[in-house]
Amino acid sequence: MNTTIIKLALQALLGRRRFWLLLALPLALIGLTALIRALSSDPDAAWPMISFLGFPLVLPLVAILAASSVLGPEVDDGSIVYLLSKPVSRHAVATSKWLVAWSATLTVGSLGVFIASLVAGGGEQAVGWFVGALVAGTTYSALFLALSAFTRHAVVVGLIFVLVWEGLAGGLLSGVAWLSIAQWGIQVGHSVSSTLDSPVNLPWALLASLVVTVGGVWFAGDRLRSFTLTGDE
């Protein structure tokens, strides 16, 4: 971990228009949830906003934007080579970048899901969604950081992953739920609140989340080692 790189990553995240989109996504979720709760006489009417919009869409989109903002622009414009010319471990660079993306994902994405859950009805179910969002947000941020280090089209690839794979694994193809980050988070949330689904077993959800998180950050650092001072990838 390097404090200078963390500061640079924070500046990159907070100084771009993506940051406002980052905030707009959970605010829209909270607003729509509040609107449904206000217009419906059914006390449970707003919960689908969390399970069908907030958790499987807003949370990973926030992670994509956060991870691509702290690393993607430097890869795109070639300035990453100047950073890598310094005597700093590539894995320290990746870890520092991930810490910023992770903090943004949890602060904006996971907390946004939690606030929307409180608006939808609160209680134990809201806590379950929050815990699940913490786990899934952590894993998403590491995966999308690895994508940002691997390809200049990380946002596009990440969107395809979220919309196609996570959507199928969480809906149509329940048999492959054990390969879905969102479903791992939901399972951990289920251990807090039984109102959430139980798509996979808890040990697998915890182990898989840990492996993808550690593996994603490590891969990002290893990928950075392949950059040369001429800017080639």
Rounded distance between C-alpha atoms, residue 173 and residue 79, angstroms: 42
User: Which H/E stretch holds residue 136?
Assistant: helix 123-150
| Residue found under tokens 């399970």 | 51
- Cα–chain center distance at 116: 17
Rounded distance between C-alpha atoms, residue 68 and residue 65, angstroms: 5
User: 0.95 cut: is pTM over it?
Assistant: no
Closest CA to 139 of 59, 198, 74, 203: 59
Other C-beta atoms lying within 10 Å of the C-beta of residue 214: 11
Cβ(146)–Cβ(223) below 8 Å: yes
From first to last of the 233 residues of the chain, give the pLDDT tens digit: 667 778 777 777 887 677 788 899 999 999 999 999 999 888 889 999 998 898 889 999 999 999 988 876 666 555 566 566 666 677 888 898 999 999 999 999 999 999 999 999 889 999 999 999 999 999 999 999 999 888 888 889 999 999 888 877 666 666 778 888 999 999 999 999 998 988 889 999 999 999 999 999 999 888 877 665 444 44
Rounded distance between C-alpha atoms, residue 215 and residue 194, angstroms: 30
Read off the tokens for 229. Answer: 């001072």
